[in-house]
Amino acid sequence: MKTATLARLAVAGNRTDVLRTVLTALSALLATVAMLCAATVLSITGWADRYSVTLLVEPGLRPGVAATLILVSLPVLALAGQCIRLGAPARDRRLAAIRLAGATPGEGVLIATAETAVASLLGSVAGLVAYLVARAAIGDQHTLPTDVLPPAPVIAFLVLLVPALAAAIGALLMRRVIVTPLGVVRRVRKRGPRPWPGLLIAVGLAMFASPFQEHLPVHLPHWLPHSKNMTYVLLGGGVLLTMAGVVLGVGWISHTAGQLLRRYGRGPATLLAGQRLITDPWNGSRTMAALLAAVIAGSVALGYRANLATTFRYYDLDNQIMGYPYGRGMSAGAEPSFYFNAIRLVMVAVGLSAAVAAAGLLIALVESIVARRRAYASLTATGVPRRTLSAAILWQTLTPLVPALLLAMAAGDALLRLVPTHYDLGRSYRECLADNDALAHCHTPAALHLPNVLNVPVPWAELSLLGAGALLAVLVAVGVGVLVLRSSTDLEELRVG
Amino acid sequence: MSPLLSGTGLVRNYGATPALRGIDFAVGEGEIVAVTGPSGCGKSTLLHCLSGILRVDAGTVTYRDQDIGLWSEAARSRLRRTEFGVLFQFGQLVPELTAVENVALPLLLAGSGRREARRTALDWLDRLGVAELAEQRPGAISGGQQQRCATARALVTEPRVLFADEPTGALDVLTGEQVLGQIVRVAREQGTAVVLVTHEARVAAYADREVALRDGVVDPTGLGLGVAG
Amino acid sequence: MSTAHVLLGLLAGGPRHGYDLKRAHDDRLPRAKPLAYGQVYATLGRLERDGLVSEAGQDREGGPDRTSYEITDDGRQHLDTWLSAVEPPAPYVTSELFSKVVVALLAADAGRARDYLVAQRAAHVSRMRELTTAKSEPEASVGDVIAADYAIGHLEADLRWLQTTLTRVADLQKEVTS
């Protein structure tokens, strides 16, 4: 097949296909901008005093900022790849007709992913343009690194990476869809997803715990190097594996939730919801996964903030016990406000990711409603009340979501529980006595009206807020979806050819 | 001389349901054969198996002395844009492409250039009397006109065998007659063999001979006499 | 009495001779049994007696009597009435096919019945094929086509009835023997 033919077949489409192309391009644009910003941050060399944002000044902190930016771009990329399922029924019929006319299976997948790739490429180029324009517009300031440009090969690589990734994700999502000349068949799993991701979570937690072995029975094997880099690898790897485990375990959670609904639910709404979950446990799970990853990151950040706050207080109290005057003794590397600003940045990123994930959920929901609109319309025409259908959608979305959210928050909490959670002030006093420092003037904790042990509190309030926020975002998405259902069950839909 | 396309001992099941239970079939060069029978007897399945769209569970489908059951899905797909033409009752025109693009599709997939494919497609649309609809989309033209475009598409590659599955099923008597007449006329002109699936006797009357099926086997009486079930 | 009505219809266009009427009848209805002259004159005689046609004139141009007939006002009225009346769906079927099939299914032995039915179907199918080929020919006139359509339609109906009857009888036998 000639390239011109491929191009023509890839862009052939109706309104929904145009919408899909626009959304894919938009997601690619955002992802590219985020990645270019990350590359810019990484391109700053040395101690960059000229910026007022401390996060950008220190060379050790910049990788963290870049990593956050890249992490934000991941849900957006997932959104771009997920867009390939928008308007899928019409597109699948089109592919079936093209297969009937003589296209091979490989050519069919090529046509489908070509559309995603082309749309993403347009988006990433537009992202590059937006980035350059914004750079010029912001001008020469001292807060944002507008004077630094990543090297050209890196820019080119990023602009090409985004469409490549989007197409790869799209191709992956198409692997279960078999387009035969007689129509589209989705390969149905005989058994549901297995709970092996639980194992991933356990391994991830173990990896995260191993640097803190003095508190736990987990010990690093002797042959592994005990270096600072190793610690970072274990910490980072542990978090990632835990996140991966929660994300991948969502399929099993949905499937099991479906089985429970079907067995114990009464009424048509739960029956509908349960069966949908069983037949296609991964349907809403992809966007839910992004949401869960954001929630885990948020839990870890909140826990870390509580830890930091306690640590700073510990430093202060320890200094008091030691009798050091202000300005001496233990302290952190910089002003506390610096650390808290960094955490605030992470929380903003988490909020953005959650919003993007909720948007993805909305898109998936709308798409599945619109695809079934004729079925819904005829159900309504035969007398099924709309509220039953709305209830089915609510059940279908929330039943796996609530346990999954709880699991995500628990995983995040477990991660932060593994870090030292209490500080022994009594020990500080004993150390003070043992030190025999001339400048020290040791006090007992009791004399200062302090407890013997300083516990790191679990930030229940903030965690609940995080969970509730995620739940609220999903409810908003479902609410909008139900509104779409209302318009999709109009009897006009029965007449649409 | 061996037949152009033949099937021996064809068996095909859908899960636990048998659709074909051992069918022998043959069609020669330029011959028009009607496959008749009540609904559910396996006629469409036979057509899909003979044209390589479906794989048989047992038996062989031989085209030009080659067993196409051994071919890959890709190779069998390629047959549909060179030597086989397919014409179904519905659902084969791509709604988002214009009529001429639809007709040119098999040629384009086979690697022809756009201009050349377009010229051939327009020529065929003209032969079937719907040249003025070239730039319209299928949604904007009537059922009979759609079927004529679909017929043009099935014949545009000048296939050796045309597989037609109830091509006039959704059309009224006169329109159906026009479409059938054109199919038969072109087939005779080009020497194309036709496998025509239908449940209507008046449509089967356009063929040179008839193979009646019932419950997945060939029924020589045509009336279900002496066939179990 | 449809022959009489056909003749009346032919006369509605203008006066004609007897042999003209026969020729016109055969042309317009090519696949029907050709009309005999005797029948034409007998029918004309009846129509004249009933006052639906009248003699229009006589020619003696080198040949036997060529009386031309024309339709009367009464005749036109009669024709109108006939054309506006609906044909009742046949309550009494007199077709040869029907009698044969009934006898074959309910009286004859299974082997002979089966042979007859298979042969009958094959004959119907073969005739339908001939008719279809004839009407698809480029030289076929409109008369040919609509006559072929009529025959094909009836043959198809016969086949369908045959098939349904077989199924009914099979069900009945199953009911009886179960």
Residues shown for chain C: 178
Q: Which residues of C touch B223 (CB under 8 A)?
A: 117-118, 121, 162-163, 166
CA distance A73 to C109: 83
- pLDDT of B160 > 80? The answer is yes
Residues A145 and A232 in one domain: no
Of A231, A367, A218, A241, the closest CA to residue A293 belongs to A241
Query: Does residue B46 belong to the interface with chain C, where contact is any CB pair within 8 Å?
Result: no
Which range, of A117-121, B54-58, C6-10, averages the lowest pLDDT? C6-10
Query: What pLDDT, in 10s, does the model give residues C151-165?
Result: 888 888 888 888 888
Give the gap in angstroms from C-alpha B65 to the nearest C-alpha of chain A.
21
* pLDDT score at C14: 80
Residue C148 has pLDDT above 80, yes or no: yes
Tell me if A428 is assigned to some domain.
no
pLDDT of B229 higher than 50: no
A179, A206, A223: which is the final residue of a domain?
A: A179
**A91 at B interface, C-beta within 8 A:** no
Provide the token pair at B211. 């193979």
Q: Which of A127, A148, A179 represents a domain boundary (last residue)?
A: A179
Instruction: With CA atoms as reference, report the closest residue to A149 among A171, A169, A134.
Output: A134
Select from A177, A188, A162, A27 the least CA-distant residue to A91: A177
Indicate if A240 and A175 belong to the same structural domain.
Answer: no
- Please check whether residue B154 is in contact with residue B86, taking contact to mean a CB–CB distance below 8 angstroms: yes
Residue B111, by phi and psi: left (phi above 0), alpha (psi -120 to 50) or beta?
A: left
- Inside any domain, residue A192: no
Same structural domain for residues A18 and A49? yes
Distance separating alpha carbons of residues B73 and A180, to the nearest angstrom: 10
Hey, is the C-beta of B85 within 8 angstroms of any chain A C-beta? Answer: no
Q: Quick one: CA torsion of A406, A408, A410, A411, rounded to 10 degrees?
A: 160
Instruction: Answer whether residue A189 is part of any domain.
Output: no
How far apart (Å, rounded) are the C-alpha atoms in residues A118 and A13?
14
Distance from CA of B139 to the nearest CA of C (A): 30
Question: Is residue A104 domain-shared with residue A204, that is, in the same domain?
Answer: no
Q: Which chains have 3 or more CB–CB distances shorter than 8 Å to chain C?
A: B
Q: Is B170 on the interface with A (CB under 8 A)?
A: no
What separation, in Å, do the N-terminal and C-terminal C-alpha atoms of chain C show? 49
Instruction: From A120, A145, A179, give the residue that closes a domain.
Output: A179
Give the DSSP per-residue string, A175-203. TTEEEETTEEEEPPPSS---STHHHHHHH
Q: Which of A8, A20, A104, A178 to mutate to test the interface with B (most CBs of B within 10 A)?
A: A104
- Which residues in chain C touch residue B31, judged by CB atoms under 8 angstroms apart? none
Residue A364 lies in a domain: yes
Nearest CA in chain C to B178: C136
Let me know whether A154 and A230 are in one domain. no
Asked if B86 has any chain A CB less than 8 Å from its own CB, the reply is yes
What DSSP character marks residue A216? S
All residues at 6 or more sequence positions from C95 whose CB lies less than 8 Å from its CB, including other chains: none
Same domain, A296 and A380: yes
| Residue type at B44 in one-letter notation | S
**Distance (Å, whole) CA C140 – CA B28:** 29
Q: Give the distance, in angstroms, between the CA of residue C110 and the centroid of all CA atoms in the same chain.
A: 33
For A372-419, where are the alpha helices, taking DSSP H only? Answer: 373-381, 386-417
**CA C43 to CA C8: how far, in whole Å?**
10
Q: Compute the distance between CA of residue A390 and CA of residue A223 in angstroms, rounded to an integer.
A: 58
Q: Give helix A268-279 / helix A228-264 axis angle, nearest 10°.
A: 140
pLDDT band at C1 (very low <50, low <70, confident <90, very high): very low
Measure CA B193 to chain center. Answer: 10
Q: If you average pLDDT over every residue of chain C, what do you get?
A: 77
Calculate how close chain B gets to A113, using CA atoms only, in Å. 17
Phi then psi dihedrals of residue C95, to 5 deg: -70, 145
Q: Does B207 touch chain C (CB under 8 A)?
A: yes
Query: In this complex, which of C117, C131, C156 lies closest to B223 when CB atoms are compared?
Result: C117
| B48 → closest Cβ in A90, A98, A182 | A182
- Range with lowest mean pLDDT among B66-80, B169-183, C93-107: C93-107
Whether residues A140 and A284 share a domain: the answer is no
Confidence at residue A60, expressed as pLDDT on a 0 to 100 scale = 65
Examine the domain organization and report whether A400 and A342 are in the same domain: yes
Distance in Å, alpha carbon of A285 to nearest chain B alpha carbon? 30
Q: What is the pLDDT of residues B86-99, one digit of tens each?
A: 999 876 898 889 99
Give the model confidence (pLDDT) of B4-34 as tens digits.
Answer: 999 999 999 988 889 999 999 999 999 999 9
Q: Please indicate, yes or no, if residue A409 is contained in any of the structural domains.
A: yes
Q: Residues B101, B104, B107, B111: what is their CA dihedral angle, to the nearest 10 degrees?
A: -30
> Would A213 be classed as within a structural domain?
yes
Quick check: is A186 in a domain? no
Instruction: Name the residue type at position A359.
Output: A
Give yes or no for B202 touching C (CB within 8 A). yes
Collect all residues of chain B within an 8 Å Cβ-Cβ radius of residue C125.
201, 204-205, 210, 222
Q: Chain C within 8 Å of B168 (Cβ-Cβ)?
A: no
Candidates B185, B202, B222; nearest CB to C121? B222
Q: Do chains B and C touch (3 or more CB pairs under 8 A)?
A: yes
The segments of chain A whose pLDDT lies below 50 read: 496-497
Collect all residues with Cβ–Cβ distance below 8 Å to A196 and sequence separation of at least 6.
Answer: none
Of B48, B96, B111, the CB nearest to A1: B111
pLDDT at C63 over 60: no
Same domain for A391 and A295, yes or no, is: yes
Distance CA A384, CA A376 (A): 9
Question: Which one is predicted more confidently, C135 or A82?
Answer: C135
Q: pLDDT confidence of C91, banded at 50, 70, 90?
A: very low
- Are both A207 and A78 inside the same structural domain? no
Q: Does B82 sit within 8 Å of A497, measured CB to CB?
A: no
Domains in chain A: how many in total?
2
Same domain, A396 and A486: yes
CA distance C91 to B228: 35
Residue B84: strand pairing partners = B161
Cβ–Cβ gap B223/C129 under 8 Å = no
Whether C131 sits inside 8 A of B205 (CB atoms) is: yes
Same domain, A287 and A203: yes
In whole angstroms, give the CA distance from residue A419 to residue C32: 103
Is residue C5 within 8 A of residue C53, CB to CB? The reply is: no
Ramachandran class of B30: left when φ > 0, alpha when ψ lies in -120 to 50, beta otherwise: left
DSSP E strand stretches across A86-168 = none
| Closest Cβ opposite residue A104 in set B77, B94, B108 | B77
Q: Is residue A429 part of a domain?
A: no
The boundaries of the domain holding residue A312 are 198-421+456-495
